[in-house]
Amino acid sequence: MKTNAATLGLVLAVAFSTSALAQQALRITGSTTINPVVSEAAETLRKENGLAITIDTAGGSTGGVNALGDGRADVGMSSRSLNDSDREKFPGVDFRPVSIGRDAVSMVVHRDVWEGGLRALSAEQIRGIYEGSIKNWNEVGGPDLRIVFFNREPGRGEWEVLTKFLYPGEKTAPRTNHAMVGSNEETRQKTATTRGAITFLSTPWADSKSVFALGIRNDADSVIEATGPNIASGSYPMSRPLFVITNGEPSGAAKVLIDYLLSDAGQALVAKHGYLKLADLE
Amino acid sequence: MAPCAKSFRPQWILWSCTFGVAVTLATLLAALLMLVWQSLPVFAHSGVGLLTGTDWYYPEQIFGALAMIYGTAVVSLVALVLAVPLALGAAVLSAEYLPPGPRLAVKSGIEMLAGVPSVVYGLIGVLFLREWVYKGLEPFDPISGDSLLTAGLLLAVMILPTITTLCDDALRSVPAAQRAAARGLGLTRAEAVLHIALPQAAPGILAAALLGLGRALGETVAVFLVVGRQDGQLPGNPFSLTAWISPGQTLTSKLGGPETHIAFGDPLHWSAMIGLALLLLLFVGVCLAAAWGLERMMRRNTDPVAEATP
Amino acid sequence: MTASRRLIRFLLPSIAALCAMFALTAVIFILGVLLVRGLGSIDWAFLTSDTRSAGAEGGILYQILGTLILIATALAVAAPPALAIGLTRVVFLRSRPRAARVVDALLHALNGIPSIVFGILGLLIFLKFFDWGKSWLAGGILLGVMILPTLTVSLVERLAAVPRKYIEAAVGLGLTREQIITAVWLPQSWSGLLTGSLLGLARAAGETAPILFVTAVFSGATLPTGIRDNPVLALPYHVFVLAQDSFNDDARANLWGAALVLVLLVACFNLAALPLRLNLHEESRHV
């Protein structure tokens, strides 16, 4: 269509001419846990260094890794370690994860469960709940209330952390069937409004007002809370490094971003959102 | 000078119009073919199992969409059962009882529902409807506020304006002379509506319901946020209603979710998602075709364009 | 009159009124919630500043601009084919009812395609085949195809309402068919294209599913500088992500503000189309 082509040409001409620096933006995709930190870092870099950075969170941690592998993103944000299936899926990609901090995943419960006295669960109990063999809170020391387990969408870093904890050494977790929630806020909100609900969530998001974080009961029958020192020392089992990943050695804008995240200013952002700085881990 | 209406000279407007139509047609056809082509791998892998399989688990390459088809059907059914009577009632009011001024006000008011974007409906659903359904269904002990029922309720409000407008149109297209004749014979206005207007508008009303159904089948964002997104929720007994108040999954909620992003690099998984899209298109297509047929029946084979010209 | 007749005479309008009231209550509730929760967040700064802190602070400037860019592109993509199809349908196919029915059926079909299918098609075509990365143009084209029926139907309605007398007079004066189009059909019916455009823009502004995969990102995009790898921000996508992802009360307040702005934007376009639509509706109905 003549008119269509002309209009298109005009629009393109305007679009091209409105930019002073026609630079390719740095594309970042991935985990909603790391998003707040990287978003704020990107804002600063945009203002101070004039970098063009776009960020998206579709698909969570696995979405970020996949996008990086497919070449649809330059930097992937992942709140779980890379595993073998990632590398198998993208054999030609040189994944370079850089840890910018650490975060813990807690089992969080609805107010009724917390106020019913439950404060901790052991791995075996969590396994039972996850697989559906334990159906009522009174079987694990809580009130007489049906357990409603909210599973996280496939691809969420938290899910990988949980299954690695529950099924160490096994390649795949058993199939389960639960209602799904996606990002951290949806998880928190739906757990807070469903009686007897339990899910697993990035610890800083458990605000102790709407949802409550449980401790993990270990083999010695003592309860480990998800506090800073416990996470740093590794005694709290469900913790995960927060990664920004590049394909190959980071360069250009990606390098600027990563350097910033590792600097004091960037690490302050990590702490601001409740995660552990690298310095805290030593 | 003689008129040149039947001139055989190349007419640039005619040719550019034809070109425009042809390009549009070709593009649509190409898109449809591409969908079919991309979905072939999963049909090779699962065959009809894509439609009849009850399990969906992509890590083990199990692709069965029956639970999603069930979810889609339940959600749409709930939406229709609620929306059609309400829409018909509202249309009867605006078409038969209201004078022009209030009629306009009521119609515009209801049409404002159509102007609310689906993502805002989803927001309202997550923050309000979920709670109400959860509390309201307490005697039945639902698992949470996310369920097929919640999604159906939300959809009912979303398709209400579409069905209302079309029912109103259907009722208004019954000639006023017939109503006048009925009144002349001593029928009340209500009886004129019930025995004269409604029966004649019935094909149009049915078409309205089908179009509403088509819209309900295809709604993604609002359903995604409140349906629970749990796979494999197929009840043992097809008439049991427990599945309605439990979380479920529809074709659209699966397509709009993260699996589409994850499937991007994996040929079989990707093909399965395209297969879902094709299924959805098929169901919507059947509804639209039925609605189209009914509308034709109501117009009794006359060309609405030719008829409308004064 | 028997009692049962009196009962029906009373019940029918009462029930009808209740139904209408339910619908209107729903409207009032939705608008009310949006206003109560969102109005507080909206001020000039909100509308003209950048988003900060992943949605917790700042405003929605680039989301608004992104949405405007997308709907403008959609209109540019949809208008020429709409004109072509509309003219063909009314002017050239008047004497070929079967072909006319085919065109009508196709428009009907296009209008009914779910928006998520558009999104998937976009993912397939623009991301997989063309390898465009996330692009504003992909979203604009998808939205344009989506609103094509809206524009076309509105134009056809208006074209159909052009009195035959004018056409006959033009033929009598010796105009060629294309002269009749430019001198009679188009000037008489541009309001139809305008109405259709406004309605189409309203619809395109509120759509999330088509832009979910191929166009929108959550943060960082400003104005596009090319086609490939040039996403935009968009109001519906912003609301969608924040609905699942807002991490503190400030972000939630901004979420409602963005939702309200979106609804107001859509309402503006719909309201602008209203006077023209009413005129057409009433005069072409045989009541």
Residues C164 and C131 in one domain: yes
Reply yes or no on whether the pLDDT at B125 is more than 90. Answer: yes
Q: What percent of chain B has pLDDT over 90?
A: 45
With both helix axes pointing from N to C terminus, report the angle between C249-283 and C186-206 in degrees, rounded to the nearest 10: 160
Task: Quote the DSSP letter at residue B238.
Answer: T
For residue B308, name the pLDDT band (cuts at 50, 70, 90).
low
* Chain C residues touching A27 at Cβ < 8 A: 133-134, 229
Interchain pair B310, C161: CB under 8 A? yes
Reply yes or no on whether the pLDDT at A267 is more than 90. Answer: yes
Q: How many residues does chain A have?
A: 282
Reply yes or no on whether the pLDDT at B310 is more than 60. Answer: no
Interchain pair B143, A89: CB under 8 A? no
Residues C21 and C58 in one domain: no
Per the structure, the complete domain to which residue C258 belongs is given by 44-284
Q: How far apart are CA A177 and CA B247, in angstroms?
A: 11
CB A172 within 8 A of CB A160: no
Q: How far apart are CA B125 and CA B225, in angstroms?
A: 8
Tens of pLDDT, residues A44-103? 898 888 888 889 888 888 889 988 988 889 999 999 888 888 888 888 899 999 999 999
| B126 vs C90, C209, C243: nearest CB | C243
CB A227 within 8 A of CB A274: no
Q: What is the pLDDT averaged over residues B192-210?
A: 90
Q: What is the pLDDT averaged over residues C49-64?
A: 81
Count of structural domains within chain C: 2
CB C235 within 8 A of CB C16: no
Among A185, A239, A237, A229, which Cα is nearest to A207's?
A185
CB C265 within 8 A of CB C235: yes
**Which chain C residue's Cα is nearest to B289?**
C109
- Here the CATH number for the domain that contains residue C238 is 1.10.3720.10
User: What are residue C114's phi and psi, to 5 degrees?
Assistant: -60, 145
Tens of pLDDT, residues B40-86? 998 888 888 888 888 888 888 889 899 999 999 999 999 999 999 99
Alpha-carbon Rg for chain B in angstroms: 24
What pLDDT does B22 receive? 85
Q: What percent of chain B has pLDDT over 70?
A: 93
Q: Which of A21, A39, A75, A272 to substitute to test the interface with C, most C CBs within 10 Å?
A: A39
Q: Cβ of B258 under 8 Å from any chain A Cβ?
A: yes
* Chain B residues touching C263 at Cβ < 8 A: 115-117, 120
Higher pLDDT, B26 or C278: B26
Which residue type does A106 have? S
Which residue type does B264 have? F
Interchain pair B16, A146: CB under 8 A? no
Interchain pair A180, B131: CB under 8 A? no
Q: How far apart are CA B107 and CA C71, in angstroms?
A: 26
For residue A183, name the pLDDT band (cuts at 50, 70, 90).
confident
Residues C3 and C106 in one domain: no
Which residue type does B280 have? L
With both helix axes pointing from N to C terminus, report the angle between B198-218 and C115-122 in degrees, rounded to the nearest 10: 30
Which domains can be identified in chain B, with CATH numbers?
63-301 (1.10.3720.10)
Q: Which residue in this structure is represented by tokens 């399989």?
A: B53
Q: Sign (positive/negative) of CA torsion C136, C138, C139, C140? A: positive
Residues C104 and C31 in one domain: no
DSSP assignment of chain A? -HHHHHHHHHHHHHHHHT-SS-PPPEEEEE-TTTHHHHHHHHHHHHHHH---EEEE-TTHHHHHHHHHHHTS-SEEEESS---HHHHHH-TT--EEEEEEEEEEEEEEEEHHHHHTT--EEEHHHHHHHHHTS--BGGGGTS-S-B-EEEEEPTT-HHHHHHHHHHSTT-SSPPP---EEE-SHHHHHHHHHTSTTEEEEEEGGG--SSSEEEPEEE-TTS-EE---HHHHHHT-SS-EEEEEEEEESS--HHHHHHHHHHHSHHHHHHHHHTTPBPSGGG-
Q: Cβ of B116 under 8 Å from any chain A Cβ?
A: no
Higher pLDDT, A22 or B166: B166
Residues C80 and C122 in one domain: yes
Interchain pair C113, B104: CB under 8 A? no
Among C78, C89, C84, C134, which Cα is nearest to C111's?
C78
Strands (E), chain B: 56-57, 62-63
Residues C184 and C237 in one domain: yes
In this prediction the ipTM stands at 0.88
| C53 vs A25, A40, A53: nearest CB | A40
DSSP assignment of chain C? --HHHHHHHHHHHHHHHHHHHHHHHHHHHHHHHHHHHHGGG-SHHHHHS-EEGGGTEE--HHHHHHHHHHHHHHHHHHHHHHHHHHHIIIIISTT-HHHHHHHHHHHHHHHHS-HHHHHHHHIIIIIIIS---SBHHHHHHHHHHHHHHHHHHHHHHHHHTS-HHHHHHHHHTT--HHHHIIIIIHHHHHHHHHHHHHHHHHHHHH--HHHHHHTB-SBS--S--SSTTB-B--HHHHHHHHHHH--SHHHHHHHHHHHHHHHHHHHHHHHHHHHHHHHHHHHTS--
For residue C108, name the pLDDT band (cuts at 50, 70, 90).
confident
Residues C95 and C69 in one domain: yes
Residues C27 and C50 in one domain: no
What pLDDT does A2 receive? 52
Sequence-separated (6 or more) residues with CB below 8 Å from residue C133: A27, A72, C127, C228, C229, C230, C231
Interchain pair C244, A186: CB under 8 A? yes
pTM of the predicted structure, to 2 decimals: 0.88
Reply yes or no on whether the pLDDT at B8 is more than 50. Answer: no
Residues C23 and C106 in one domain: no
Residues C59 and C186 in one domain: yes
Task: Quote the DSSP letter at residue B60.
Answer: G
Residues C116 and C213 in one domain: yes
C36 min Cα distance to partner chain A (Å): 21
Interchain pair C160, B304: CB under 8 A? yes
Per-residue tokens: A119: 């404060």
Residues C87 and C189 in one domain: yes
